[in-house]
């Protein structure tokens, strides 16, 4: 097995309305994240779900890296046909195994902002898009009527540079231009990766790659 990707230099190694939230706030992250080895925040983007960190009042917003470790695929999959992706909500990381087991990767990820937006279970990759556009779901638009109806590909796009469509409607594994979101509860239901990590995973994953969210 290969080691998890390391980040050096300036780098660092979405449906259904939430019911338990008294109110949703957006905050601009501070200049320092307080975690050694993680990237400094990107410049604030004035776009929905990108450049701003969503959180529940009173929730623990620290990055969870205590369970960030290599895993074996066997407890989670019966085989590796088409490769396998494990999204671990608890440790906030994504594991990938190639079909022949020659490639293993471990990536830090963002996770949904609330339990109501979190989905677990088995899915698969049904579509791959480089330079994705973004549109809010009807539920997002209802909660945030000020959000635009459409955001084209580019530096303001909440899906980053690449996106993997899951078989569940509106659910994606995608990149983000806002590095502050990785390792935190900061999405509307999707799983977010650093852009360089989603680019690599995009190259590994195929249509039909099995996905499990736990």
> Which sequence positions are flagged as catalytic?
174, 190
How far is it, in rounded angstroms, from Cα 91 to Cα 170? 23
Reduce the secondary structure of 132-172 to three states and give it as a string: CCECCCHHHHHHCCCCCCCECCCCCCCCCCEEEEECCCCCE
Cα-to-chain-centroid distance, residue 144: 21
Helix, strand, coil percentages, rounded to 5, for the chain: 10, 30, 60
- Report the Cα 72 to chain-centroid distance in Å: 21
**Separation of first and last alpha carbons in the chain:** 22
């Amino acid at each position: 097995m290969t080691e998890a990707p390391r980040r050096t230099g300036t780098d660092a190694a979405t449906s259904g309305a939430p019911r338990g939230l008294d109110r949703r706030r957006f905050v601009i992250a501070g200049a320092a994240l307080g975690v050694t080895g993680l990237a400094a925040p990107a410049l604030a983007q004035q776009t929905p779900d990108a450049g701003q960190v969503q959180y529940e009042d009173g929730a623990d917003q620290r990055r969870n890296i205590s369970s960030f470790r290599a895993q074996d695929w066997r407890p989670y999959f019966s085989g590796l046909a088409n490769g396998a992706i494990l999204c671990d909500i608890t440790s906030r990381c994504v594991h990938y195994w190639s079909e022949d087991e020659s490639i293993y990767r471990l990536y830090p990820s963002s996770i949904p902002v609330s339990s109501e937006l979190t989905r677990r279970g088995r899915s698969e990759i049904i579509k791959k898009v480089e330079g994705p556009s973004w549109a809010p779901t009807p539920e997002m638009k209802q909660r945030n009527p000020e959000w635009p109806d459409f955001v084209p590909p580019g530096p303001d796009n909440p899906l980053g540079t690449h996106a993997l469509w899951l078989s569940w409607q509106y659910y994606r594994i995608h990149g983000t231009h806002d590095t502050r979101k990785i390792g935190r509860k900061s999405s509307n239901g999707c799983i977010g990766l650093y852009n360089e990590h989603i680019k690599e995973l995009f190259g590994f994953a195929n249509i039909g790659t099995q996905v499990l969210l736990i």
